[in-house]
Chains A and B, each alone.
Chain A
């Protein structure tokens, strides 16, 4: 496979069996017996220096929770987060502070992620103030450089977030994340709240910044076409677990997991002739509740290929044999080239 220039083999961020459960309700005695939402249930993933790793999944698959575990905004229920060789999974907020300089986050909601009562200059300068990097005039100059870098007018330093459009606000969020010159930026659906016409601008900005500043991205989205556009590798999440991890081109051309194949068949195609010829795989039912996830393979209740083994044994995320691509796939019976899932789904229904 061809690798984009600037991507290395060095692992910058490693997630190792990350688990995050949110208790719901309370057990009678301290919540010990209470149910929990299994938001992230054992995810292992490596992000290489210089790459963009796309993380896709539908709403409720746990991708944003995983992002907050990776940046340690959440405490983990189990598992490890290793950043640049340092285990940061159990560090306290103050112990995490030095790592925050290298590990930043861009948030989904450009409206909710900027404090409406503070001027954007002070918001972007926040990381500099917290880490004591610069103060007074130098901080102001640095903030204005950042504003220019992300395509904002530095003279708008004293404006309030309400005076900016959604796209401009997201640029403010990007500038804040860049202020400390981080190495890894976790982008949690950075464009999903924006107009389609603005999306490309922000995506291009992120790509330009990656090239100029040698950044690594963990890019989270529910939009398959956005992820395809920006990612070197793509990981697909389903109900708190990874279904498949593959180089972007390979995943989009030769998916192995039935869920991924179904997702890709649902992506709109611009060519109407091609769209007519293509068969969509219609999945039955809704995703199961993350409070009581199904036993065995979590996808089995909706999978057109489900067999008895899928109900009992959970498939590990490992490279699969067969005629298809050999990237890690969490499926006992991965999709083979030429296989028609749409017909199987149709006959099952």
Chain B
């Protein structure tokens, strides 16, 4: 090489320092793209604010002096027994039982996030294990597992959820398990498809040729190549799980009252939306903001991991 470009010179200088050569892997590159994506940053900030608010719910309750289940039948309801609107005492108004809507929304966020994240984690682990086993082992195992996943995906899930909850009773754990049960197959199917194609790659053959065992091939060679699509799917699964939980609560199948949930509040507000606009509006907005932020973040993660597909996040970038 006779001509050295400035960038090359910098690279050479970096190479000259022992130990300074550190490859930037696909994950680091994706992380850097994600950090430069304004939508991703805005979504992440929104989610952090919601999470902090959920964690800090007791602090807020203490500050305003209203517990989540405290009923203020005197100051929290009009003489006719209707909810009162936003005021200095009740910042977002009250519900039909004279409870502070703000405090209940914050406590509701705890349920939503808890169920959303835990159910997604459960579903992701189950989906990855089952999908990997089906795609990698193939044969009869694959036929059985793949058909089972198809079956789960084709269930009329709401009907089955109603049946399950009426058999086992409604609780936080049951809600989570029901949501996870209807979510894992979506991840399992994608993982299976990827594992099927990666299994045939030459680097898997190379791994056999050095003497690797089945578990090593599955978890060292195949799994890292699956993490990107799994991460994207899982991020998009969280808002779906949150909405699922809200749906169950809305139908009275979720976490039983008086525990505040967004779906439950929306359900309670049905009879009052004409006289108390704040009652459905604020829980609805909380649900919308959370799911929207998760969905946008999921899209950004997908774009960051696979910059060749989908929308362009940097204006005019070549």
In residues 105-157 of chain A, which contact B (Cβ within 8 Å)?
Answer: 105, 107-109, 112-119, 126-127, 130-131, 153, 155-157
Which of A68, A156, A180 interacts with B210 by CB under 8 Å? A180
A176 touching B21, Cβ below 8 Å: no
B205 touching A155, Cβ below 8 Å: no
Q: Taking A117-B224, A118-B224 as contacts, is the C-beta distance between A112 and B209 under 8 angstroms?
A: no
Which of B18, B22, B23, B225 interacts with A115 by CB under 8 Å? B225
**Which B-chain residue is minimally distant from A109 (CB atoms)?**
B202
Which of A100, A109, A115 interacts with B221 by CB under 8 Å? A115
Which of B15, B201, B205, B211 interacts with A101 by CB under 8 Å? B211
Closest CB of chain A to B26's CB: distance in Å?
6
Q: Taking A105-B206, A113-B202 as contacts, is the C-beta distance between A160 and B211 under 8 angstroms?
A: no
B224 touching A163, Cβ below 8 Å: no
Complex interface: chain A residues within 8 A of B214 (CB): 93
Which of B21, B206, B209, B227 interacts with A156 by CB under 8 Å? B21
In residues 11-27 of chain B, which contact A (Cβ within 8 Å)?
Answer: 15, 18-26
Closest CB of chain B to A177's CB: distance in Å?
8
Closest CB of chain B to A135's CB: distance in Å?
14
Closest CB of chain A to B53's CB: distance in Å?
37
Closest CB of chain A to B143's CB: distance in Å?
13
Q: Taking A115-B203, A153-B15, A160-B26 as contacts, is the C-beta distance between A176 and B210 under 8 angstroms?
A: yes
Q: How large is the interface on B (under 10, 10 to 19, 20 to 34, 35 or more residues)?
A: 20 to 34
- In whole angstroms, how far apart are the Cα atoms of A130 and B25 in the complex? 23
- In whole angstroms, how far apart are the Cα atoms of A113 and B206 in the complex? 6
- In whole angstroms, how far apart are the Cα atoms of A156 and B11 in the complex? 12
B216 touching A130, Cβ below 8 Å: yes
A52 at interface, CB cutoff 8 A: no
Complex interface: chain B residues within 8 A of A101 (CB): 211
- In whole angstroms, how far apart are the Cα atoms of A238 and B149 in the complex? 45
Closest CB of chain B to A61's CB: distance in Å?
19
B21 touching A158, Cβ below 8 Å: yes
Interface size on A, residues (CB 8 A): 39
**Which A-chain residue is minimally distant from B228 (CB atoms)?**
A117
Q: What mask results when residues 188 to 206 of chain B are scored 1 for a CB within 8 Å of chain A, else 0?
A: 0000000000000111011
- In whole angstroms, how far apart are the Cα atoms of A180 and B209 in the complex? 12
B225 touching A117, Cβ below 8 Å: yes
**Which B-chain residue is minimally distant from A103 (CB atoms)?**
B209
- In whole angstroms, how far apart are the Cα atoms of A159 and B26 in the complex? 11
Closest CB of chain B to A126's CB: distance in Å?
5
**Which B-chain residue is minimally distant from A127 (CB atoms)?**
B210
A34 at interface, CB cutoff 8 A: no
- In whole angstroms, how far apart are the Cα atoms of A94 and B207 in the complex? 13
In residues 163-201 of chain A, which contact B (Cβ within 8 Å)?
Answer: 163, 173, 176, 179-180
Most buried by B among A107, A153, A179: A107
Q: Taking A107-B205, A107-B206, A118-B224 as contacts, is the C-beta distance between A160 and B212 under 8 angstroms?
A: no
B208 at interface, CB cutoff 8 A: yes
Q: Taking A112-B202, A115-B203, A118-B224 as contacts, is the C-beta distance between A105 and B23 under 8 angstroms?
A: no
Complex interface: chain A residues within 8 A of B202 (CB): 107-109, 112-113
Which of A71, A108, A116, A179 interacts with B225 by CB under 8 Å? A116
Most buried by A among B19, B202, B209: B209
B201 touching A112, Cβ below 8 Å: yes
Binding site of B, secondary structure by majority: helix, strand, loop or mixed?
Answer: helix
A89 at interface, CB cutoff 8 A: no
Which of B19, B24, B212 interacts with A155 by CB under 8 Å? B19
Complex interface: chain B residues within 8 A of A107 (CB): 202, 205-206
**Which B-chain residue is minimally distant from A117 (CB atoms)?**
B224
- In whole angstroms, how far apart are the Cα atoms of A218 and B280 in the complex? 75
Complex interface: chain A residues within 8 A of B310 (CB): none
B317 at interface, CB cutoff 8 A: no
Q: Taking A113-B202, A126-B207, A160-B23 as contacts, is the C-beta distance between A93 and B213 under 8 angstroms?
A: yes
- In whole angstroms, how far apart are the Cα atoms of A105 and B208 in the complex? 10
Q: Taking A115-B224, A117-B224, A118-B224 as contacts, is the C-beta distance between A71 and B23 under 8 angstroms?
A: no
Which of A104, A113, A155 interacts with B21 by CB under 8 Å? A155
- In whole angstroms, how far apart are the Cα atoms of A219 and B94 in the complex? 81
Complex interface: chain B residues within 8 A of A284 (CB): none
Complex interface: chain A residues within 8 A of B213 (CB): 93-94, 130
A176 touching B206, Cβ below 8 Å: yes
Complex interface: chain B residues within 8 A of A159 (CB): 21, 23
Q: Taking A107-B202, A117-B25, A118-B224 as contacts, is the C-beta distance between A155 and B18 under 8 angstroms?
A: yes
Complex interface: chain B residues within 8 A of A68 (CB): 205
Most buried by B among A118, A127, A155, A176: A155
B15 touching A130, Cβ below 8 Å: no
Complex interface: chain A residues within 8 A of B212 (CB): 126, 130
In residues 211-245 of chain B, which contact A (Cβ within 8 Å)?
Answer: 211-214, 216, 220-221, 224-225, 227
A to B CB contacts below 8 Å, 28 in the list: A93-B208, A93-B213, A93-B214, A96-B211, A100-B210, A101-B211, A105-B209, A112-B201, A113-B205, A113-B206, A115-B224, A117-B25, A117-B227, A118-B224, A119-B25, A126-B210, A130-B210, A130-B211, A130-B213, A130-B216, A131-B211, A153-B15, A155-B19, A156-B21, A156-B23, A160-B23, A163-B23, A176-B206
Q: A97-B211, A117-B26, A158-B23 are in contact. List 4 more A-B contacts (CB 8 A).
A: A107-B206, A109-B202, A112-B202, A160-B26
* Top 6 A-B pairs, shortest CB-CB distance: A159-B23, A100-B211, A112-B202, A117-B224, A127-B210, A113-B202
